[in-house]
A and B are shown apart, each in its own frame.
Chain A
Amino acid sequence: MPDAIQTLLLECESIFRFVQKLLKQAVARPFEWRETVRQCFEIGNRSLFLICFTAFLSGVVFTRQSRPSLSSFGAESWLPSLVSQAVIRSLGPLITGLICAGKLGSNIAAELASMKVTEQIDAMEVSGTRPFSYLVVSRVIATTLMMPLLVVFADVIALFGSYLTVHTINNTSLQLYLNEVSVVITFLDIFSSILLATFFGFAIGFVGSYAGYTAANGTSGVGKAANNAVVISMLFIFIIDLLSLQIINLFR
């Protein structure tokens, strides 16, 4: 068997075993409540400002970019509906997912990888302190739980940015803007957006943890793990986004 295929199969086996261990330890007692809550705070708090800032800018820019096209059809009044649908269905989760992949994914991978190459994880292992559930399970649960919250924040801030833009240009009132938004946004849009964010969160936490926990080859392994975590989790985000779009469209 060619070496490349053998390496690929071994990597697949390693990923499968990692998932298996993750699922097993996620339900095993004792549950890592304290560390999971701490990670939730770290992950949510650490990313909130950047995500709000980026979401606000995206809302403003997207509204400004879309306005000329709609104006040319005399459909400027559709701006709130267009922006809100784009933000809630895809833009909000996607922007939040990509930023978190870069920020959290690399952070988790680098932190775990440096612990791995300096034998800190081995030290936890030999003292019987269950490092996998302490380091990996808590982080994956935290990213999975925090991503939907961050997406809700991002959606609200992006819509606020959009409203400010529309208000500045057309003097549209907040009530009218919200009215336009509420007409087009359905429960399915909100539910699918939150579900999408949950999958993104799992992907970021899982990829970052896997890359970090299985890092090797000293300090160069730390850089490689962080890099892999960002690239692979971003790739996963686009794949999940595409797949979820196909599935959700079946229900629309």
Chain B
Amino acid sequence: MVDATNDTVGNKAIVAFLHNVKKSFNGVEVLKDISLELHQSENLVILGRSGSGKSVLIKCMVGLIEADDGDINVLGYDVRHLEPKALNEMRQQVGFSFQSSALYDSMTVQQNLEFPLTRNLGLTNKTELNDKVIIALQDVGLEGTAQKMPAELSGGMKKRIGIARTLILNPKIMLYDEPTAGLDPITASEINELILSVREKYKTSSLIITHDISCARHTSDRVIALVDGKTKMEGTFDAIKDTSDADLAPFFNY
């Protein structure tokens, strides 16, 4: 097993990498030999059109979808060959923000945030739980929503609570699946700011899946453009935004 945490590029350690990853569904190849590296404290944006395999890629990273071939290494864990116990250990160090927010709709916001704490850390002390929930809600700017049900929240608020629920376990890596999808430009910009402030406060490395150019511009240190399940281009946003590539140019100029 290659330990991702031992490899470095420049001064930054590699916290996760994918090497020649392939995935097909019913004979249709969704990921074709994808390779990438995520560095310590980096915001890496995977940019691509709908159906280009972006979401499949991050679901493969946390073992929600099984890749057909290749190596996936996250925080030193060889994801494709992990026993359930080790897989859980790895998952507890990786925060995953879903496109749909995926809040538990039968629980209040407070219960949503307490759930990973009681289940993973075995915390039962009410005061301790309450303190952690308050801090997580403050970090996403939603104090005062603890007793609300998810159905009472707006789309942007749900996204923030979803992020707070992952932050409460102090993850080392954050995976954002379309964090600004379906949001108005102002709320989307607030989410972009939140992604940056999460990195500052929690020192996380983030992989952000998006088709939103504005999100990519604001949050990325580095961008990988994905076209039809293949890496088409890689670099900083400024370096690739003026590309003349026939597949990517319309995307940046739309």
Interface, chain A (partner B; CB < 8 A): 115, 118-120, 122-130, 134
Contacts and interface: CB of A to CB of B under 8 A. Distances in A.
Given A122-B64, A127-B169, A134 B119 contact: yes
Given A118-B100, A119-B100, A119-B102, A125 B64 contact: yes
Interface string B82-126: 000001110110101011101111000000000110011000000
B41 interface: no
A124 B105 CA distance: 13
A118 B166 contact: no
A51 B62 CA distance: 44
Pick the most buried of A123, A126, A134: most chain B CB atoms within 10 A of its CB.
A126
Contacts of B116: 127-129
Interface size class of B (residues with CB under 8 A): 20 to 34
Given A123-B98, A123-B104, A127-B92, 9 more contacts: A115-B104, A122-B64, A123-B96, A126-B91, A127-B119, A127-B166, A128-B87, A128-B91, A128-B119
Contacts of A124: 104, 115
B177 to A, nearest CB: 9
Contact of A127 (B89, B91, B105): B91
Pick the most buried of A120, A124, A127, A130: most chain B CB atoms within 10 A of its CB.
A127
A29 to B, nearest CB: 12
Contacts of B92: 127-128
Which 9 interchain pairs have the tightest Cβ spacing? A123-B102, A128-B88, A128-B91, A129-B119, A119-B102, A126-B96, A128-B92, A127-B116, A126-B62
A118 B103 CA distance: 9
Contact of B105 (A120, A128, A130): A120
Contact of B102 (A122, A129, A130, A134): A122
Contacts of B99: 119
Contacts of A120: 102-105
Contacts of B87: 128
Contacts of B100: 118-119
A13 to B, nearest CB: 15
B103 A127 contact: no
Interface in B110-158: 115-116, 119-120
6 contacts: A119-B98, A123-B165, A126-B91, A128-B119, A129-B120, A134-B119
Contact of A128 (B89, B98, B102, B162): B89
A126 B64 contact: yes
Nearest to B59: A122
A134 B120 CA distance: 12
Contacts of B89: 128
Nearest to B171: A127
Nearest to B162: A123
Pick the most buried of B100, B116, B119, B120: most chain A CB atoms within 10 A of its CB.
B119
Contacts of B64: 122, 125-126
